[in-house]
């Protein structure tokens, strides 16, 4: 049973439209807080999109995701999991980026997450564009490479953009493999689709043993079968979960910078998270929610609903390890 200090504010005590928004109405526990050592799962915002190459906006994602997350309640409707009772969860605040300097921002992000990992906290991140995952992985996989289950319509395995720019939202996992942060033979990427520049990214995946599951295969096989293979690929080792909201069809999640049609629906978007049960998660992220392209707020609400699903799996893992 978790410490009551870490329980969210109930909608029966304070209306969900009132109060200062934190992720899922949890207490705000900055890194200097006296209760930091008691936190088991930390929700963190990374308001940064300097890796974006087309439509910017994910830098505003964490703020909108926090606001939408006030609708998350105490109990999962299907599993019965009560994540805030299973683990001490808190909003650790935002990493302050340098919007004018990509390398400095990445150093700031890694430094923040080094402190989180050193405190023994499992990080659940709200981005930010997908380059965010690289500096987070530099902290999470500092000692040993990890596996990864990656939900996305793009591989993000490109070498560079515009003749030599190495750090964009299309390159994080190429860098992560090169830096020894990811074990490519324990990486699976699910939902890939859309038009292509060429096959460079897929060639890199094939050469390094990364398993690509295109959306056609995903739809043909179904969620349970695909996720059973994903769990087999990562095995019992440490695994990072990276979830780009553009994995979901833009009918359900239009608020993102690089949408691709033909994707999963919103229910399948939740299902894949539920099938992560048993994976040894060492960190997870939800990235590329872009409020300027989300006038209804529906993309952000789906994004935090996915974060809640991830949180339930992570909280169950923490509870079993206690």
Binding annotation for Mn(2+): 130, 152, 154, 156, 244, 246
Are residues 2 and 35 in contact, defined by beta-carbon separation less than 8 angstroms? no
User: Collapsing DSSP states into helix, strand and coil, what is residue 37?
Assistant: helix
Cis peptide leading into 128, omega within 30 of 0? Answer: yes
Q: What is the pairing mode between strands 41-46 and 146-151?
A: unpaired
Burial 168-187 (b: 16+ CB within 10 A, else e): bbbbbbbbbbeeebbbbebb
| Separation between Cα atoms, residue 89 and residue 175, nearest integer Å | 31
Q: Measuring CA to CA, which residue among 64, 57, 49, 70 is closest to residue 298?
A: 64
Strands (E) located in the chain: 41-46, 89-94, 122-127, 146-151, 182-192, 211-214, 239-244, 281-287
**CA distance between the termini of the chain:** 10
Report how far residue 212's alpha carbon sits from residue 217's, in angstroms, rounded to the nearest whole number: 10
Nearest to 266 by CA among 241, 303, 240, 227: 303
Residue-wise over 215-244: b if at least 16 C-beta within 10 A, else e? beebbeeebeebbeebbebbeeebbbbbbb
CB count within 10 Å of CB 275 equals 18
Nearest CA among 178, 148, 147 for reference residue 160: 178
Annotated binding site: 130, 152, 154, 156, 244, 246
């Amino acid at each position: 049973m978790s410490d009551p200090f870490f329980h969210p504010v109930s909608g029966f005590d304070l209306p969900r439209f009132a109060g200062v928004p934190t992720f899922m109405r949890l207490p705000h526990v900055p890194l200097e807080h006296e209760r930091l050592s008691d936190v088991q799962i930390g929700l963190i915002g990374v308001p940064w999109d300097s890796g974006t190459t087309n439509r910017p906006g994910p830098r505003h994602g964490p703020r909108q995701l926090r606001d939408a997350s006030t609708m998350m309640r105490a109990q999962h409707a299907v599993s019965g999991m009560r994540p805030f009772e299973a683990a001490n969860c808190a909003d650790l605040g935002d990493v302050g980026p340098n919007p004018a300097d990509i390398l400095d921002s990445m150093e700031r992000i890694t430094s923040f997450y080094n402190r989180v990992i050193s405190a023994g906290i499992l990080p659940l991140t709200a981005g930010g564009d997908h380059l965010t995952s690289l500096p987070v992985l530099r902290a999470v996989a500092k000692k040993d490479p990890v596996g990864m289950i990656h939900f996305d319509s793009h591989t993000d395995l490109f070498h560079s953009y515009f003749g030599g720019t190495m750090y964009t939202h299309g390159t994080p996992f190429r860098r992560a493999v090169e830096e020894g942060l990811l074990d490519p033979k324990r990486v699976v990427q699910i939902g890939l689709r859309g038009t292509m520049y060429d096959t460079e990214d897929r060639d890199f995946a094939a050469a390094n043993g990364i398993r690509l599951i295109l959306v056609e295969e995903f739809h043909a096989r179904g969620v349970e079968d695909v996720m059973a293979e994903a769990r087999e690929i990562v095995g019992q080792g440490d695994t990072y979960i990276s979830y780009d909201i553009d994995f979901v069809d833009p009918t359900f999640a239009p608020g993102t910078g690089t949408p691709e049609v033909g994707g999963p629906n919103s229910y399948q978007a939740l299902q894949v998270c539920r099938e992560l049960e048993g994976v040894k998660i060492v960190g997870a992220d939800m990235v590329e929610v872009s409020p300027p392209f989300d006038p209804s707020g529906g993309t952000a609400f789906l994004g935090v609903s996915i974060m809640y699903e991830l949180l339930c799996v992570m909280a169950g893992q923490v509870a079993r390890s206690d």
